Structure 1
Amino acid sequence: MKSSHKRRVLAATLLLGASPLAFAQEAPETLDTIIVTGVGPQRDTDEMIGNATAINRDELVQKLSGTLGDTLASEPGVSTTFFGQGASRPVLRGLGAERVLVLTNGIGVIDVSAASPDHQAAADGIDAEKVEILRGPAALAYGGQAIGGVVNVIDGLIAEELPDEPLSFDGLAATNSVSDGTETAGKVRYTTGPFVLTLSASARDFGNYDIPGFAESSRLRASEEHEEGETHEEGEEDHDHEHEEAYGTLENSFLQTGTFAGGLSWVGDNGFLGFGVRHQTSEYGLPGHEHAEEGHDGEEEAEHEEESPFIDLEQTRYDFRGGMNLNYGILTDVAANISVADYTHTEFEGPGEPGTRYDTDGTEGRLEVGNLIGNIEGAFGLQYLDKKLGAFGDEAFITPTKTKNLGVFVYETYELNDDAGLEGGLRFDDVELDNSVAGKVDFNLVSGSLGAHAHWGTGWFTGVQLSYTERAPNESELFADGAHLATSQYEVGNTALDKEKGTNLEATIRWENDWLSAGGNLFLTDFDGFIYLTPGSTLNEGALTDVVDGVPVYLFSQQDAKFVGGEIYGEAKIPQSALSADWTAKASVDFVNGELDDGGNIPYLPPVTFHSSVQADWKLWTVQANMTIAADQDDPGAGSLPTDGYTTFGARAALKLSALGFGKEGTQLFVEGRNLTDEEVRYSTSVLKDTVPAPGQNIRAGIKVSF
């Protein structure tokens, strides 16, 4: 790590512990945030051993970006697989893709976003009411794919309670300078008797975005110049290689999305039943992606035809959900969810030239029954998934695969007294993957956890949890065999892979009083048979080679690994302080280190990252300033270059129109600046970090209305 970024992160960490103390005054009482994601009784964030976050609608509007991973990237312990404006998934504590489960209303998104970082997740938060994040193993609730955590996007299409008002509307319209883009969203809810009708729509239109300098990082340009110099010295043919390097604007980074959704619910005194449908379309460019035309002799032609590949995506999803209070013996309630989705996306090599097509259709259902036996409260249930994945075309790096998963689970909490408790559970899964070429593989999985927590009269909360999770390899890890040009890799799966086993130990400590809260989570995750991509060789046309179709070969391998990390966070709320404003200060630092059993580095880990913000509410105005400091990532893993750190600044001002009598609370005009110093930002968690930087300086303005 560069010494400057070391000093910045160290200073910021010290500031995290010291800054809230400067605001010590009496503050108003705040309500805890209820987390609905999980299994068993619903609890607020302050009652959970793990680090859980709930982001409400107003916060989502402030953080909103083109994709889900980018929207959540400023949260403690969260990063992004950033693939330009069009695709990203959240990375939790250094784990992403197949180890972080993205849900919509508690059911999987049923797409192909976990198969590749250039595939967009079929949930992005633009029309969500809330997003919940559970860091660390949540496999007891959702299976082995949640070994890294869960992100649950709650859209509110199916109402579970009658709204306070018979008619309501929430809308958003905004524009940004970095891509000359616009974004709009609207949701209307109408109630008549026991019925609730919800309709929503949203759209984005982002052009190619501005970047501070070259698209290629200085490290990559230096390595290319070094390689070219060595080739010239060896006397090989000089191609007079000329770079037409992108500068100032990232070509082919556009994004266009549209969603239409509706839901109808019946809400009674002791239950609800509802149906929802959501249709989503998206078209986005794949930046940093070039194709080389091949001659008839199989050799790459000297002159390359650069194309502008893009993805055209469409998904229709149907949700059925119901719940009922039972109060029958030890049974307290029952809830059932069923989702059916039809997803397809086509990767176009250029205008009017369809290439590879991915089709996924699936059904996922979940049944959960609550129970109460004395001081023991919890739930048991089952979950079922039936999904088909098909890939067709010249660049289909995976053959059609059917996946079936049946899981049963139980989770119970036991209150020892008002100040302490125990919790734990078990889950069993049977997973079958049936590939059209390689045949069937089966995995029997077991997960379990045991935790304890205690409250102390001085405002302290402490907890510790031990969990064990097993995850089955996914379709790509088992069956991939082909050039994946979006990531510039020839991926080779391994049908001999064993299930991945993870043992996680996590400890938490929190303290709060009327105006200040602070806490931290430390974790250790020990993997037996961690699955990862690493450079290697494969047989091609009878010869062993490390380059196929012009891209390097990467193999899915398995090795023991260990992750150590944590999050430290604090918040202070001070009413009527300086300038007679209500002040809120937040700060956090997160870190994770991962190492393979042979001493090698795990690729695509986030660096030590510090976030902070200060907000003032004053009469008609809300004003905020924020800062992010990311250290260098000097341990990039095999086949990757180190990543430089960065420091970014942002600011936001909002005029409260509701205070002027227009709309309900939350109605506002806003203007904000992101990355105000036009810093070059590259995410070490992105496979395209050296060719696709994050957007530069951006001014975003808009209006949010609620009636």
Structure 2
Amino acid sequence: MKKIKPTYLGAVALVVGISPLANAQDRQDTIIVSSPGPVRTADELVGNATSMDRESIIDHLSGTLGDTLDRQPGVSSTFFGAGASRPVLRGLGAERVLVLTNGIGTIDVSATSPDHQVMADGLDAQRIEILRGPAALAYGGQAIGGIVNVIDGLIVETIPSDPATLDLYGAYNSQNDGEELSARTQFTAGNFVFTGIATTREFEDYDIPTFAESDAFRRLEEQEHHEEDEDDHDEEHDHEDEHDLHSEAIGTVENSFLDTSQLSAGVSWIGSNTFWGVGIRHQDSKYGIPGHSHEEHGEEDHDHEEEDHDDELHEDELHEEEMPFIDMEQTRYDFRGGIKFESNFLTELIATASYADYEHVEFEAPGIAGTSFSSEGFESRVELGHEWKGINGAWGLQVIDKELASKGEEAFITPTRQNAIGVFLYETKDWENGFGLEGGLRVDDIEYDNDIMGSAKFDLASGSLGLHQHWESGWFIGTQLSYTQRAPNESELFARGPHLATSQYEVGDASLEKETGLNFEGTVRWQNDIFEIGVSAFHTDFTDFIFLSPSTIVVEGETVSEVDELAVNGFMQEDATFSGGEIYTSLEVEDGILGANWSLNANVDYVDGQLDEGGNVPYLPPLTFNAGSHARWGGLKLGAELTIAAEQNNQGAAQLPTEGYTLVNLSSSYDLPVFNSDSKKAEIFLKVNNVGDEEIRYSTSVLKDVIPAPGRNIRVGFRLSM
């Protein structure tokens, strides 16, 4: 069993025995709109729900969605440099965490590979919700780990209180010489509300405090180097030159730039009991794929005569190493409408539909286009709310029709079309004594049609039941049991080819069965007007859990574990068990120590994943402690954040251990009094992230041993709302 250092015992003690310095978000006022059925607040849900408002998003804003959410309880990131990352919820990511934009899938290819950017990054978001538990299952088996819903407010449902608003944000980041800007405007004309959003982000290569490669990785390279055949001196000498070239990468992560922009517009018509709206978004993004060179993994002729042909030519090839990058764009059209009924049974009807056209090209070098990926699809969702004898809920229908295609020498997924239809119901019932029930059922029919491998069809059924008890004293106890089935995605079924972003030759399996999870979760929390503490624990038994692991394939009659110097990794199934939980707490005190309004919040999260036949589930986050404290004197606000991540020694097969780290962030902001009023606010801020310039590597990242997270960053900026 992994030992827990005294530091972490102290961290847990801090969470449990938090002192009255502080303040946090009042959860009982936090409405979770992602939950189907009646309007409910976070404290009414059995599952752990989190909501970040615009101010919190700006405070933690990073270049990617996963990094922005990284400090939330039970959330980590697949960190892939500055350009791409997805959130990981309780050790589950990619195809098991559903990322939504205003309740509809992002219709991109981010779940197929960690180097693919998700088409939602938070820069334009008004709110981000994280939902787990029975309510999340209304979104299907792909939400077995939970959902992350990015809400931009492009289509509004009620007339705003202000006839016209403007929100501007801008910041400069020192560690990548990066600039980010966003502008949002909204105005009302009669029953119509018009919204426009523009964002841009431009980052150069980011700075790091140490070598790009981890100590463990460099030791492994050195060991492999010494084990080479000493009889071939020339070949050994060449490899030594190449090793020295890469191991000396220090101070900056080459090819880690990011350049992205988005333009959005929406119009809504709002009546007394109905609304409808349309929106359009266009996003362009270009970013480097750090830690990789296509030339490093290309086909090579190992004949000694060619190896020794020209030492000078070999040196030139090393210095002309290609720097791959991705150039992507997406255009998305949204429609959303609703009507409220004045009846004794039906309450409202909400319909949402989105169409998106996505494409990205992976360039091997400027002007040299390589593999391209495209995703074009339509997704719609209809929810019919109802109330009968105290039972509130929603019936729903969801339809997905999309096509994924890739072209080029490194296209590891052949064209695949997906058609899916799902129906669900979600019901809640609360009694006056504080006891309540919630639960849902969902069935899905999913069919994939691949141009090469043929078709695969899956019939899925999922269900959940939760019960809870509220007390007027502030106590809440809840428990839920859920049974979830998930269909394999396109990569898991049909991948076959070189995937240079992960330095693997990926092999899918068209015969994979559906994945089944039986989850039990319990929650205990207590809160009053200023204080909250909660504990959530979970245990999930997976049948036929799908994961990527070292494998072999047959090439020209020979069984091999490498193809073109890329390790073969295949998708396989095995029963697995996940268990863990979170402890979280927050407190608010006005006119506290030093005459300030204080806020303090803290959380600890842990997850363990074991394969039933032995071994660890790969890419799991470590035991992590987060704490934050902020003090406000009028318009001045000062804050500090602390993250302590333990070592991750329970790594998956063919992985190296990941060192722990301690991260300290400091922040300050000032509200300019000349602008401050009920309708206006102007804020300038200065933040220093990673104050100690620590080496930080995420165990959830496939690049953890070849690139670390950014070093110290000074971020200065402003926000204007009027």
Aligned mates of 1:121, 1:170 — CA distance in 2: 24
3-state SS of paired residue (1:239): helix
Deviations along 1:564-618, whole A, 9 cap, x unmatched? Answer: 0101000010100111110011010000000001121000000000000110011
Structure 2 residue aligned with 1:64, among 36, 61, 65?
61
3-state SS of paired residue (2:213): coil
Aligned mates of 1:156, 1:99 — CA distance in 2: 26
3-state SS of paired residue (1:667): strand
C-alpha distance 178-369 of structure 1, shift in aligned 2 (>3 A)? same
Deviations along 1:139-160, whole A, 9 cap, x unmatched? Answer: 5311111000100000100011
Q: Which amino acid aligns with 1:364?
A: E
Match of 2:279 in 1: 276
1:619 CA drift (Å)? 1.6
On the 8 A contact 1:199/1:263 being kept in 2, the answer is yes
Aligned mates of 2:30, 2:303 — CA distance in 1: 60
Match of 1:468 in 2: 483
C-alpha distance 299-75 of structure 1, shift in aligned 2 (>3 A)? farther
Range that drifts further, 5-14 or 660-669: 660-669
Aligned mates of 2:442, 2:469 — CA distance in 1: 25
Aligned mates of 2:383, 2:227 — CA distance in 1: 63
Match of 1:186 in 2: 183
The answer to whether structure 1 residue 415 and structure 2 residue 449 are counterparts is: no
1:702 CA drift (Å)? 0.2
The answer to whether structure 1 residue 695 and structure 2 residue 702 are counterparts is: no
Match of 1:12 in 2: 11
Range that drifts further, 145-154 or 321-330: 321-330
Match of 2:161 in 1: 164
Match of 1:77 in 2: 74
The answer to whether structure 1 residue 145 and structure 2 residue 146 are counterparts is: no
1:38 CA drift (Å)? 2.4
On the 8 A contact 1:137/1:148 being kept in 2, the answer is no
Aligned mates of 2:427, 2:124 — CA distance in 1: 34
Aligned mates of 1:454, 1:2 — CA distance in 2: 35
Structure 1 residue aligned with 2:227, among 230, 250, 269?
230
Deviations along 1:454-492, whole A, 9 cap, x unmatched? Answer: 012321001000000000000000000001001000000
Structure 1 residue aligned with 2:260, among 257, 280, 295?
257
Aligned mates of 1:498, 1:112 — CA distance in 2: 22
Deviations along 1:340-376, whole A, 9 cap, x unmatched? Answer: 0000000000010000000100000000000100111
Aligned mates of 1:249, 1:505 — CA distance in 2: 44
Q: Which amino acid aligns with 1:12?
A: A
C-alpha distance 298-233 of structure 1, shift in aligned 2 (>3 A)? closer
On the 8 A contact 2:135/2:439 being kept in 1, the answer is no
Matching of residues 322-341 of structure 1 within 5 Å = 322-341=337-356
3-state SS of paired residue (1:486): helix
In the comparison of the two structures, how many residue pairs are matched?
A: 704
C-alpha distance 582-495 of structure 1, shift in aligned 2 (>3 A)? same
Q: Which amino acid aligns with 2:76?
A: S
Aligned mates of 2:401, 2:5 — CA distance in 1: 48
Q: Which amino acid aligns with 2:487?
A: A
Deviations along 1:171-212, whole A, 9 cap, x unmatched? Answer: 101001010000000000010111000001000010000001
Aligned mates of 1:326, 1:662 — CA distance in 2: 38
Q: Which amino acid aligns with 1:565?
A: G
Match of 2:387 in 1: 372
On the 8 A contact 1:620/1:659 being kept in 2, the answer is no
The answer to whether structure 1 residue 513 and structure 2 residue 545 are counterparts is: no
The answer to whether structure 1 residue 110 and structure 2 residue 81 are counterparts is: no
Q: Which amino acid aligns with 1:584?
A: S
Match of 1:655 in 2: 670
Deviations along 1:305-356, whole A, 9 cap, x unmatched? Answer: 5111000010000000001101234111000000000000000000100000
Match of 1:425 in 2: 440
Q: Which amino acid aligns with 1:323?
A: G
Deviations along 1:400-447, whole A, 9 cap, x unmatched? Answer: 000011000011111233411111111000000000001111000000
Deviations along 1:16-60, whole A, 9 cap, x unmatched? Answer: 11223x4499x9988610000122112111111111001000110
Match of 2:173 in 1: 176
Q: Which amino acid aligns with 2:10?
A: A
Range that drifts further, 574-583 or 410-419: 410-419
3-state SS of paired residue (1:327): coil
Match of 2:548 in 1: 533
3-state SS of paired residue (1:59): helix
Q: Which amino acid aligns with 2:226?
A: G
On the 8 A contact 2:176/2:204 being kept in 1, the answer is yes
Q: Which amino acid aligns with 1:89?
A: R
Deviations along 1:529-584, whole A, 9 cap, x unmatched? Answer: 00000001001222110000211000100000000010100001010011111001
Matching of residues 321-470 of structure 1 within 5 Å = 321-470=336-485
3-state SS of paired residue (1:19): coil
Aligned mates of 1:298, 1:317 — CA distance in 2: 48
Aligned mates of 1:559, 1:659 — CA distance in 2: 63
Structure 2 residue aligned with 1:239, among 237, 240, 263?
237
Aligned mates of 2:540, 2:428 — CA distance in 1: 23
Match of 2:310 in 1: none
Aligned mates of 1:505, 1:39 — CA distance in 2: 21
3-state SS of paired residue (2:342): strand
Match of 1:631 in 2: 646
Q: Which amino acid aligns with 1:56?
A: D
On the 8 A contact 1:139/1:145 being kept in 2, the answer is no
Deviations along 1:380-416, whole A, 9 cap, x unmatched? Answer: 0100000000000010001000001100001111123
Structure 2 residue aligned with 1:556, among 548, 554, 571?
571
Q: Which amino acid aligns with 1:169?
A: L
Aligned mates of 2:72, 2:129 — CA distance in 1: 11
Q: Which amino acid aligns with 1:37?
A: S
1:136 CA drift (Å)? 4.8
Length-normalised TM-score, structure 1: 0.97
Range that drifts further, 409-418 or 690-699: 409-418
Match of 1:522 in 2: 537
Match of 1:50 in 2: 47
On the 8 A contact 1:35/1:43 being kept in 2, the answer is yes
C-alpha distance 549-663 of structure 1, shift in aligned 2 (>3 A)? farther
1:667 CA drift (Å)? 2.6
Length-normalised TM-score, structure 2: 0.95
Q: What runs of 5+ residues in structure 2 fail to find an aligned partner?
A: 308-313
Match of 1:286 in 2: 289
1:15 CA drift (Å)? 1.1
Deviations along 1:235-257, whole A, 9 cap, x unmatched? Answer: 77523412223100000000000
Large movers: runs of 4+ above 6 Å: 27-30, 298-301
On the 8 A contact 2:135/2:426 being kept in 1, the answer is no
The answer to whether structure 1 residue 487 and structure 2 residue 485 are counterparts is: no
On the 8 A contact 2:27/2:43 being kept in 1, the answer is no
1:64 CA drift (Å)? 0.5
Aligned mates of 1:182, 1:389 — CA distance in 2: 33
Range that drifts further, 516-525 or 411-420: 411-420
On the 8 A contact 2:133/2:480 being kept in 1, the answer is no
Match of 2:682 in 1: 667
Match of 2:311 in 1: none
3-state SS of paired residue (2:295): coil
On the 8 A contact 1:137/1:504 being kept in 2, the answer is no
Q: Which amino acid aligns with 2:78?
A: T
1:628 CA drift (Å)? 0.2
Matching of residues 309-320 of structure 1 within 5 Å = 309-320=324-335
C-alpha distance 679-621 of structure 1, shift in aligned 2 (>3 A)? same
Match of 2:194 in 1: 197
C-alpha distance 195-215 of structure 1, shift in aligned 2 (>3 A)? same
